[in-house]
Chains A and B, each alone.
Chain A
Amino acid sequence: MDTSSPSVFVNGALLRRFVGQKVRTVIQVMGSDMGSVVGKSTDDLQIFVRGSPPPSLTTYLEVIGIADSENSIRAEVWTNFGDSFDALNYNELCKLANGEFKHLFI
């Protein structure tokens, strides 16, 4: 596993703490365009993802990339996460990964 450039698990609220850094998040796709996707974070905030999305998207999408503002990510890796994904669990994971035990994650 490549640990040289770790990506932080974030939800919509945590994204703003990592502007300029590498993050990963899962969004529920609301709409997509050539070169961008609009989605809802697991804590119900809007996130814009730029880059080149795969041609077909499932309901849930994981993106890894650099946070370039408090609500947008420039994605390098796009992964379809299927249509049934538990957003609440993921949201809890993000909170854990940035809480008391964040040294275990980054």
Chain B
Amino acid sequence: MPVSLTPNAITAINAGDVNLKPLLQVLDIKLIGKIQERGQERYRLLISDGALAEHAMIAVQLNDRVKSGQVVIGSIVQLIDYICSTVKNRKLIVVLNMETIIPQSETIGNPKMSPESDAEAQIPLSAPGSMPPPNRAVFNEPAIQQSVNKAPPRGVNFQNPANSTATPSFRPSVQPSYQPPPSYRNHGPIMKNEAPARIIPIAALNPYQGRWAIKARVTAKGDIRRYNNAKGDGKVFSFDLLDSDGGEIRITCFNAVVDRFHDVVEVGKVYLISKGSLKPAQKNFNHLKNEWEIFLEATSTVELCPDEDGSIPRQQFSFRPISDIESAENNTILDTIGVVTSVNPSVPILRKNGMETHRRVLNLKDESGKAVEVTLWGEFCNREGRQLEEMVVDSAFYPVLAIKAGKVSDFSGKSIGTISSTQLFINPDFPEAQKLRSWFDHGGKDIASSSISRDNMPGGGSRNEIRKTVSQIKEEGLGRSDKPDWVTVKATVSFIKTDSFCYTACPLMIGDKQCNKKVTQTGTNTWLCDRCNQESEECDYRYLLQVQIQDHSGLTWVTAFQESGEEIMGCPAKQIYTLKNELQNDEEFAEIVRNRLFHQYLLKLKIKEESYGDEQRVKITVVKVDKVNYTSESKYLLDLVRREIS
């Protein structure tokens, strides 16, 4: 099919025309490296209107088009949604949505680099002897305009029930774009633009824009979290937004800004948000499909839109069948939906930082023939967890549960856990749920699903422990990766170092926690803490115990701090400190230590390589000490044997 490119499209786009929907040819595709390592891949296209060529970034959600070969070098595409912004005096076109019109074609015309573009100016790009320039004057291609509203969101949009039938799930743009009159450019005094910032799609946000506004619905809102780090105490909360184009982004507020906006923001409502800075998204906390995250500032505005029309979906899901989760990577955040087949009671759990939380495990199955374990943490146990328990356990009714933003864990097979931004929907009113319901009620209930989560490890304490032998720590190079390794060993204490086994700790409270930093004696009864910058009359004695542990495979040194030290020594540090240093009763001291040797424990270890000056040393810390429970240990070993021989 002969096709004409839109004449002068590059010039028009550079001048700010975003409604042209031009036909352009892709001359080159380049993968721009991973932005700041944790960012996503971006593709940069070189697009041509036959006379001029210009670089254009494509939005991340269009990456698949390149990867799947829908857009290749030579493709003729129609830009449907795009913006052009100025970055450091350079024009940058960002393509938000496009359609491939002709999969591949020879280079049309003899395009030169646009003068607006950076480097490589005026280099002829077409090979000599390629197609002659087409007749540009007669361009008209009405047939192509039809696909404008076809947007690419994957997954399902959960519309407002009121207009779910009428509205298409997606609208390309909210308001006409702002077009600067050409005469403003490059000369004249700089004037502050007092007009309200124009609303742009979330997908178009980038750190190089000055003024922007977005209109979006709050889909999730986190609780206020308090933190304490080197810079001091603080608080933070974040919420997630979804706009009518399916763009999502997280907003984070710190300290005073928390007070300003926390009460304003309500889940489900639509807001106009403006001013704030864009930072790279913290991918380990933020699962949204956006490489940026907005930090609100004192000057930011968050205004409720009371007259929102429901063009913005309530929630956007991209449900993955449970069979897919089996191959999903650890820590992937995803949505899934299934029928709850069992709910376990909520149990209290001690977290690594010593705080208590709750955990509740339930089982989910779906039409893929697989089942998965879902772990609810904290508040979810009591809220949705209890509701589910009442249905399943008390009434033997098996509800459909949709999980938005669950986290995949690969301990003991694959399972899903809740995180703070997870949302649970019980018996939701959308088509997937109805389909599942009818599948379950018409036979699905009796189909045996194989679980992708390994059955509860019989005994052995926590089911997600990784058991190792002492020699495996060295052999497998544990602790050498970025993150510490957490493993459990069954080992016997064979030696305890006694020349120094504890330190003087600061007894002052910081918030609800004791400081515990090392204090130095400044007088007979005064101790100074560098962190608190205060003196106290007393100090605490806390264990810092060097212990040698041994199993059938080898031995190693480990460090045990307060709680685990006390478990190993059987009494508080202060007691034996007094015995040794004040009463100087060496005999009794030696007796106590001797009695603590040759006990066997299950030791949970944190293993991490640290550098001391030039030296790299693997540091092994005892996090938890448990006496061996012979019943559960036997169960564990039997299970191991069974798995080895089957």
Contact = CB atoms under 8 A, between A and B. Distances in A.
B211 interface: no
Interface in B166-182: none
B585 interface: no
B645 A92 contact: no
Task: Determine chain B's interface SS by DSSP, over half rule.
Answer: helix
Contacts of A30: none
Interface string B635-646: 100100100010
Contact of B638 (A84, A89, A101): A89
Pick the most buried of A84, A92, A93: most chain B CB atoms within 10 A of its CB. Answer: A92
Contacts of B638: 89, 92-93, 96
B514 interface: no
B140 interface: no
A89 B645 contact: no
Contacts of B630: 86
A43 to B, nearest CB: 15
Contacts, number: 17
Contacts of B634: 86, 89, 93
A92 B635 CA distance: 9
A101 B630 CA distance: 23
B631 interface: yes
A38 B224 CA distance: 64
Pick the most buried of A84, A89, A101: most chain B CB atoms within 10 A of its CB. Answer: A89
A100 B642 CA distance: 11
B641 A89 contact: no
Interface in A42-99: 84, 86, 88-89, 92-93, 96
Contacts of B641: 96
A65 B641 CA distance: 28
A86 B645 contact: no
A59 to B, nearest CB: 14
Interface in B323-374: none
Contacts of A89: 631, 634-635, 638
A89 B635 CA distance: 6
A93 B641 CA distance: 10
Contacts of A93: 634, 638
A89 B640 CA distance: 13
B41 to A, nearest CB: 51
A84 B631 CA distance: 9
A96 B638 CA distance: 9
Nearest to A85: B631
A42 B630 CA distance: 17
A100 B631 contact: no
Contacts of B645: 100-101
A96 B641 CA distance: 9
Interface in B612-641: 630-631, 634-635, 638, 641
A89 B633 CA distance: 10
A91 to B, nearest CB: 10
Contacts of B631: 84, 86, 89
B436 to A, nearest CB: 37
A96 B640 CA distance: 12
Contacts of A100: 645
A89 B641 CA distance: 12
A44 B90 CA distance: 83
Given A86-B631, A89-B635, A92-B638, 10 more contacts: A84-B631, A86-B630, A86-B635, A88-B635, A89-B631, A89-B634, A89-B638, A93-B638, A96-B641, A101-B645
8 contacts: A86-B630, A86-B634, A86-B635, A88-B635, A89-B631, A89-B635, A93-B634, A101-B645
Interface of A: 84, 86, 88-89, 92-93, 96, 100-101
> Which 6 A-B pairs have CB atoms at the shortest separation, nearest pair first?
A86-B631, A89-B634, A92-B638, A89-B635, A89-B638, A89-B631
